[in-house]
Structure 1
């Protein structure tokens, strides 16, 4: 496929439609970017050649114009010397030079048209390439995010993690039981202390009661 055919295909292509049909969009867009970059390099190389050719044609035209002016000057000289035959021959040469200049000017016009088209197509190709690179970046970010989510979900449903969580729950229950036993012991100890305190209070009341009785008997 020629460079201009490839360039036209790329410019006219619909990147979104191509990616929708691709089994591996990431791989497809990477290949598209590579082809665009290679085509862009080739088109720019061809553009440089056209510019160089245009400069060559311009130099050739200037050279021929000087030759034409020189033949005209020779014709004037021949007429001044009354050599009309030489003047006619000089003008014939000038006419031939002028025809060549006209041909080269036509060629120059075609080169200008080619450069205009290449410049426009390079801009379009560059826009396509920018779009493709942006989509590639988005695809890579989405792929990375999707992979991260997949990894997290796989870990969440991992048997070893479930087993570890079950062990945590088991240890939590054991700690709850131990804390319950401590609380129970504290309650028992507090109950015993309360009973002794009640006994002490009762003994004090009994002593006060006896003291009052003794006092009343003395009266």
Structure 2
């Protein structure tokens, strides 16, 4: 039951779609923080359970290796006892030969027992090995997912801080925006523009007055010439010649 629970948890966490979870979350950062904590805790539990499973597998392997070595050792003892029995029988010591043949039979029996125990343990070892590999693979996926979660969380935190900083900067810029018609700078600029316009108006008015004065001088010059010609008529009786431009 414990193994099934571990398998289920690993499978569920390893298949989690982070982007989908983020889209569904009201507060993605809080959700990712919680997921990181959940994954970290689950990984620690899984590591402990997998370590125990691996330990059990290693015990099975040790017992299997010991059974194999025992079978080999009993086989060597059986061979040695059988060889001694043959040697004694060839020398005429039948009783001694029978004794060593009996020892050979005992050794062979022990060899068969050890071989049977080793063989019976092999399916369990194979099954446990498969379980351990699956658990290791799942654990590795969980670790990768945790790395993905941590990176996503850090990215969101960084983006959040960037947005906050940008908002602060924009607020600061807005508060000193010289184009803002309500700002003191804008009102001061408008005052200067009006003063500049007033000065231009004065200059234009002054220029108009000067032109008028020159026009009056031209009119006076024409009247003076008229008077001169009239005086010449009275004095000489003939109209004075017009002065041509030099």
Provide the TM-score with structure 1 as the length reference. 0.71
**Alpha-carbon distance in structure 2 between the residues aligned to 1:175 and 1:162:** 15
| TM-aligned CA distance change 1:164 to 1:208, over 3 Å | closer
Change over 3 Å in CA distance of 1:17–1:178 after alignment to 2: closer
Say if 2:73 is the partner of 1:73: no
Secondary structure of 1:68's partner? Answer: helix
Q: Give the C-alpha shift of residue 38 in structure 1.
A: 4.0
Please say if 1:85 is aligned against 2:88. Answer: no
2:194 maps to what in 1?
177
User: Counterparts of 1:33-72 in structure 2 under 5 Å?
Assistant: 33-44=36-47, 47=50, 50=53, 54=57, 57-72=60-75
CA distance in 2, matches of 1:163, 1:191: 38
What residue in structure 2 maps to residue 118 of structure 1? 135
Corresponding residue number in structure 2 for 1:196: 213
- Residue segments in structure 2 that go unaligned for 5+ positions in a row: 86-96, 239-246
Is the counterpart of residue 97 in structure 1 residue 114 in structure 2? Answer: yes
Task: Look up the match of 2:244.
Answer: none
2:77–2:107 Cα contact (<8 Å) kept: yes
Larger deviation, residues 197-206 vs 178-187: 197-206
Q: Kindly indicate whether the alpha-carbon contact (under 8 Å) linking 2:181 and 2:187 is maintained by their aligned counterparts in 1.
A: no
TM-score normalised per structure 2: 0.65
Range with bigger deviation, 3-12 or 91-100: 3-12
Determine the C-alpha separation between the residues in 1 that align with 2:184 and 2:124.
87
- Provide the C-alpha distance between the structure 2 equivalents of 1:132 and 1:180, rounded to a whole number of angstroms: 65
Deviation at 1:94, TM superposition (A): 0.9
Greater Rg over alpha carbons, structure? 2
Root mean square deviation of aligned Cα: 4.0
Q: Measured at CA, do residues 166 and 12 of structure 1 come closer, stay the same or move farther in structure 2, by a change above 3 Å?
A: closer
Higher helix share: 1
Paired residues in the alignment total 216
Residue of structure 2 equivalent to 1:205 = 222
CA shift for structure 1 position 33: 1.6
Deviations 1:133-182 (A, max 9, x none): 45435543664465457657867997xx9998243443244223312321
Distance 1:142 1:131 in 2: 16
What's the CA shift for 1:84? 2.0
Q: Deviations over 1:174-207 (max 9, x none)?
A: 2233123212211221122112211332344345
Give me the whole-angstrom Cα distance separating, in 2, the residues matched to 1:196 and 1:19.
84
